[in-house]
């Protein structure tokens, strides 16, 4: 009789979403989750705010512990277990128990690979110096917090100006550190257009962050105790008692590749819209798997918790005998630096033009509330649309509190294939404490119509 066990590799968003979905529909099915780290189902996106001291304990970032999964949901979640090989022919995985050193083979009926992604750490001198961190697992966030609490550093350097970079620069400022952010690019937030990203560094500098663009990381030096002392760039040394690397992530797809499973965009595991891989009864979900981009029609690798959870729901539905399709992504994302909110969705103008699209764009400055209402503040919106049809292709927002979540209106419009005209005349809500009579995203859409 064939083994009916569902084996999941990876115990965070995608893996546990899928396991929980299967459990709800198949109450008696054996489910085993192997997680090489110490924690399951944690909010990785909350780590910078925990490090900043805004969240009192790391435990608040954990949705469910391994014990809860075992005792309340009959999901055998085993932390400290690393899967080292997949045998698709024999339908087994090789597992190494990190605590005991034991290695064993576990048969599966279905296998879900949800191994996530790893921070990019370039092979440069001193990259492994104590005090140089990358954020990935919850434990990595705890390690940074412990370093700050134990060492009481004065100088922090953040390498990379993406989401993690901005959030960690804010965290270090809140902890009272002199903070420098470096990036070899000519702008922060390279997922945005330069005209929108250019609004961010002045705000950061005013808050006290030294932002140094077009500056390349070369290496690190250590002190007499072997701990981080400085960051070396092509423009000289920067004093550093703690460093966080924020250079992006790469999919953890090596296990799949070694098993002969096809890879796709960005080195992620190739999947169809049911989250099936090229191997029978093997599925993939989360940051290790690719997604279909709804506008370009191309496969992409985008590491976001929102996508990982949806991947997991689709995979779990299909593993348990349902029929679900993942509809694709726009890359909608939001972050902030202090009060400045930053959001984007769809294609930027640069991305659209690189795809050979003929586009129109509009960039407007407006207010978050009616101008006469207390608390009204600045917001900048940029929209990109197809030049022939007016179909919305992308949006970007930078502004003060109340700005960022407006990106969801733009994302919904794009998902629904609306045009700039449709958005401009959509029946959105209005009252002075919330918006001008023409919401800023509608003002941008009206500008597109001109």
CATH code of the domain containing 344: 3.30.390.30
Structural domain includes residue 328: no
End-to-end C-alpha distance for the chain, whole angstroms: 67
Q: Report angle CA 378, 380, 385 to the nearest 5 degrees.
A: 155
184 with 208, same domain?
Answer: yes
DSSP 391: B
Predicted confidence (pLDDT) per residue in 59-79, tens digit: 999 999 999 999 999 999 999
**Domains: count for the chain:** 3
294 with 269, same domain?
Answer: yes
222 with 278, same domain?
Answer: no
Residue 145's CATH number: 3.50.50.60
Structural domain includes residue 334: no
Predicted confidence (pLDDT) per residue in 140-199, tens digit: 999 999 999 999 999 999 999 999 999 999 999 999 999 999 999 999 999 999 999 999
Positive or negative, the CA dihedral 349, 267, 234, 212 is positive
Which of the four pLDDT bands, split at 50, 70 and 90, describes residue 212?
very high
Instruction: State the CB neighbour count (10 A cutoff) for residue 38.
Output: 15
Predicted confidence (pLDDT) per residue in 95-152, tens digit: 999 999 999 999 999 999 999 999 999 999 999 999 999 998 999 999 999 999 999 9
Q: Over pLDDT 70: what percentage of the chain?
A: 100
312 with 408, same domain?
Answer: no
Predicted confidence (pLDDT) per residue in 386-427, tens digit: 999 999 999 999 999 999 999 999 999 999 999 999 999 999
154 with 99, same domain?
Answer: no
pLDDT above 60: residue 40: yes
233 with 284, same domain?
Answer: no
Structural domain includes residue 333: no
Beta strands of 88-146 (E only): which ranges?
A: 92-97, 103-107, 110-113, 117-119, 132-134
Yes or no: say if 194 and 200 are a contact pair by the CB < 8 Å rule: no
The reported pLDDT for the residue numbered 447 is 98
Residue whose structure tokens are 């001198």: 125
Considering all CA atoms of the chain, what is the largest pairwise distance in Å, rounded to the nearest integer? 73
Predicted confidence (pLDDT) per residue in 301-343, tens digit: 999 999 999 999 999 999 999 999 999 999 999 999 999 999 9
105 with 219, same domain?
Answer: no
Domain boundary among 216, 232, 247: 247
The reported pLDDT for the residue numbered 2 is 63
Structural domain includes residue 105: yes
pLDDT above 60: residue 1: no
Please report, to the nearest 10 degrees, the dihedral formed by the alpha carbons of residues 386, 389, 390, 394 taken in order. Answer: -40
276 with 394, same domain?
Answer: no
0.85 surpassed by pTM: yes
Structural domain includes residue 325: no
Selecting among 3, 30, 45, 353, the annotated active-site residue is 45
290 with 190, same domain?
Answer: no
95 with 141, same domain?
Answer: no
| H or E element that contains 360 | strand 359-367
Residue whose structure tokens are 């999941």: 8
The reported pLDDT for the residue numbered 3 is 79
Domain boundary among 195, 214, 247: 247
Half-sphere exposure of residue 194: CA atoms within 13 angstroms, side-chain side? 5
45 with 100, same domain?
Answer: yes
Yes or no: say if 426 and 442 are a contact pair by the CB < 8 Å rule: yes
122 CB contacts (<8 Å, ≥6 apart)?
217, 247
Q: Is 288 a catalytic residue?
A: no
Structural domain includes residue 63: yes
358 with 441, same domain?
Answer: yes
Residue range 26-43: average pLDDT?
Answer: 95
Give the separation between CA 392 and CA 96, rounded to whole angstroms. Answer: 49
Q: Over pLDDT 90: what percentage of the chain?
A: 98
Structural domain includes residue 93: yes
Range of the domain at 76: 6-118+250-319
Predicted confidence (pLDDT) per residue in 254-295, tens digit: 999 999 999 999 999 999 999 999 999 999 999 999 999 999
Domain boundary among 191, 224, 247: 247
């Amino acid at each position: 009789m064939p083994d009916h066990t569902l084996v999941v590799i990876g115990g965070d968003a995608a893996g546990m979403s899928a396991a929980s979905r299967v459990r709800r529909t198949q109450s008696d099915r054996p489910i085993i989750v192997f997680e090489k780290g110490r924690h399951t189902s944690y909010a990785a996106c909350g780590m910078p705010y925990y490090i900043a001291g805004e969240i009192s304990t790391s435990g608040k970032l954990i949705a469910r512990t391994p014990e809860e999964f075992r005792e309340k949901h009959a999901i055998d979640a085993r932390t400290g277990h690393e899967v080292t090989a997949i045998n698709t022919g024999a339908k087994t995985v090789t597992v190494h128990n990190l605590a005991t050193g034991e290695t064993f083979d576990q048969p599966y009926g279905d296998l879900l690979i949800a191994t996530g992604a790893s921070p990019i750490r370039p092979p440069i001198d001193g990259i492994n110096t104590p005090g140089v961190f990358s954020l990935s697992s919850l434990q990595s966030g705890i390690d940074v917090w412990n370093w700050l609490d134990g060492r009481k550093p004065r100088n922090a350097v953040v390498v990379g100006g993406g989401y993690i970079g901005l959030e960690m620069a804010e965290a270090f400022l809140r902890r009272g550190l002199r903070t420098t952010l470096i990036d070899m690019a000519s702008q922060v937030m390279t997922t945005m257009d330069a005209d929108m990203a250019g609004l961010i560094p002045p705000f950061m500098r005013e808050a006290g962050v030294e932002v140094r663009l077009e500056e390349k990381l070369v290496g690190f030096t250590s002190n007499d105790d072997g701990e981080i002392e400085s960051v070396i760039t092509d423009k000289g040394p920067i004093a550093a008692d703690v460093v966080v690397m924020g250079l992006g992530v790469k999919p953890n797809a090596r296990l799949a590749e070694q098993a002969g499973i096809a890879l796709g965009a960005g080195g992620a595991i190739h999947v169809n819209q049911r989250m099936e891989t090229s191997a029978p009864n093997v599925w993939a979900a989360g940051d290790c798997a690719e997604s279909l981009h709804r506008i370009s029609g191309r496969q992409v690798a985008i590491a976001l918790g929102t996508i990982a959870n949806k991947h997991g729901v689709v995979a779990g539905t299909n593993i348990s005998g349902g029929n679900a399709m993942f509809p694709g992504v726009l890359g909608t994302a939001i972050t902030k630096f202090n009060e400045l909110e930053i959001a984007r969705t769809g294609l930027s103008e640069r991305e659209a033009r690189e795809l050979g699209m003929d586009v129109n764009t509009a960039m407007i400055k407006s207010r978050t509330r009616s101008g006469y209402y207390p608390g009204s503040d600045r917001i900048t919106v940029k929209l990109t649309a197809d030049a022939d049809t007016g179909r919305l292709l992308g949006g970007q927002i930078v502004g003060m509190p109340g700005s960022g979540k407006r990106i969801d209106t733009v994302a919904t419009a794009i998902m629904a294939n609306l045009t700039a005209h449709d958005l401009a005349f959509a029946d959105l809500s209005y009252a002075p404490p919330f918006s001008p009579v023409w919401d800023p995203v509608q003002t941008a859409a009206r500008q597109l119509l001109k």
